[in-house]
Amino acid sequence: MPTKMKTLALSAAGLLFMASAAFAQVSSIEGDVKGEDGAPLKGALVKIERKDIKGNYKVKSDKKGHYFHTGLPLGTYKLIVEVDGKDVDSVDNVRTTLGDSTVINFDLKANKQKQQSLAQAAETGTLTKEQTREMSAEQKAQLEKAAKEREQSLAKNKALNDAFNQGMQALAAKQYDAAIESFTKAGAMDPKQNVVWAQLAESYTQAALLKAGPDRDALMAKGLEAYTKALEIKPDDAAYHNNYALALAKAKKFPESQAELAKAAQLDPPNAGRYFFNLGAVLVNTGQNDAACEAFKKAIDTDANYADAQYQFGMCLLGKAQVSPDGKVTPAPGTKEALEKYLQLKPAGPFADSAKGALASLDASISTKYENPAAATKKKKK
């Protein structure tokens, strides 16, 4: 019996020794996390991934930016800091030890500067051997990938810029077919470039003006479509709405044109007068005199000191003057005021003589009695 008790006692001692040894095999990791502003970062998620066998642990930094995780089996780990759902820093091959915690600090500001320096060095080809050694395999792979993407992007951008510049040169030289070809090519390379679609629209519109009938209509339709694509990408560009409106007016889509100009005026109030003036000019050229008068009136209502708009409005109203049977001219209301306002604003302007002549004609009477000059001569001889 005593022998049996001794055996049990030894077995118990062995269990205690094993439990003590197992308890001693755990370790801990702790450290501080600083944000990109250099201050302690609260709530940063520190992910602790065991590398030798599967094991994942997580802990968040407290209000002082400190984190602490104990009960970790002895081993090799990778620590990753996650902020707002994004991995922002990491330390690989961290070996824990018995006793004191393994301390791993994170400084996101310093890390960001380091990454920028590495990226710049890799881009310029000045990456040192020391910098290369400091990089993890993942970082090297990322930099290599970024370098390839950058090379492809530069090649693409060069081709895009070349096509765009060729289009601009052709447009300036009024070689509209060549311009359309170049801008179409540029648009295929990068369909998100609003300026490409805007210039393609202008090329189609100008080409349409040189045609007639169905050919004109087809080119104008393509120009309008290109303008809509430019506006889909950049809907807040008042100039695009203005140019689109002018193209619509040339296509005789006047209600749509006025709607686009209203958008342009809303987006760019200081230049609203110019947008309405442009519409008026287009309407005059297309024989839409009443609509033109309305557009010039809107330009004046927006900017009373828009001299050219005052002149055009006055001349537009001049065509609506009434002549009585006795030859007296009765101008439409606002005619004299508009012409006088132009002369006040631009007394030596390009339309000054025309405005003065128009005002003089308003005070004159038109003779409506016809006399035969030959009959008057015979009567005088007699």
On whether residue 70 sits in a domain, the answer given is yes
Identify the domain containing residue 89 by its residue range. 24-115
On whether residue 44 sits in a domain, the answer given is yes
pLDDT tens-digit series, residues 134-177: 666 666 677 677 667 666 766 778 888 899 999 999 999 999 99
Beta strand ranges found along the chain (DSSP E): 26-34, 45-50, 56-60, 66-73, 76-83, 86-95, 102-103, 106-107, 322-323, 329-330
* 249: pLDDT strictly greater than 80: yes
On whether residue 42 sits in a domain, the answer given is yes
Q: How many CA atoms lie within 13 A of 367 on its CB side?
A: 3
- How far apart CA 255 and CA 239 sit, in angstroms, is 18
Residues 75-108 as b/e (b if ≥16 CB within 10 A, e otherwise) read eebbbbbbbeeeebbbbeebebeeeebbebebbb
On whether residue 153 sits in a domain, the answer given is no
* 8: pLDDT strictly greater than 60: no
Q: What is the pLDDT of residue 84?
A: 93
Indicate the number of domains in the chain.
1
On whether residue 50 sits in a domain, the answer given is yes
* 18: pLDDT strictly greater than 60: no
- How far apart CA 138 and CA 116 sit, in angstroms, is 16
Binned at pLDDT 50, 70 and 90, residue 5 comes out as very low
pLDDT tens-digit series, residues 194-245: 999 999 999 999 999 999 999 999 999 999 999 999 999 999 999 999 999 9
- How far apart CA 382 and CA 380 sit, in angstroms, is 5
- How far apart CA 219 and CA 180 sit, in angstroms, is 11
User: Are the beta carbons of 200 and 225 closer than 8 angstroms?
Assistant: no
Other C-beta atoms within 10 Å of 30: how many? 17
Beta strand ranges found along 220-353 (DSSP E): 322-323, 329-330
CATH number at residue 56: 2.60.40.1120
On whether residue 363 sits in a domain, the answer given is no
On whether residue 158 sits in a domain, the answer given is no
On whether residue 94 sits in a domain, the answer given is yes
- How far apart CA 32 and CA 64 sit, in angstroms, is 8
Q: What is the pLDDT of residue 136?
A: 63
Binned at pLDDT 50, 70 and 90, residue 17 comes out as very low
- How far apart CA 373 and CA 363 sit, in angstroms, is 26
Range of weakest confidence among 16-25, 85-94, 120-129, 356-365:
16-25
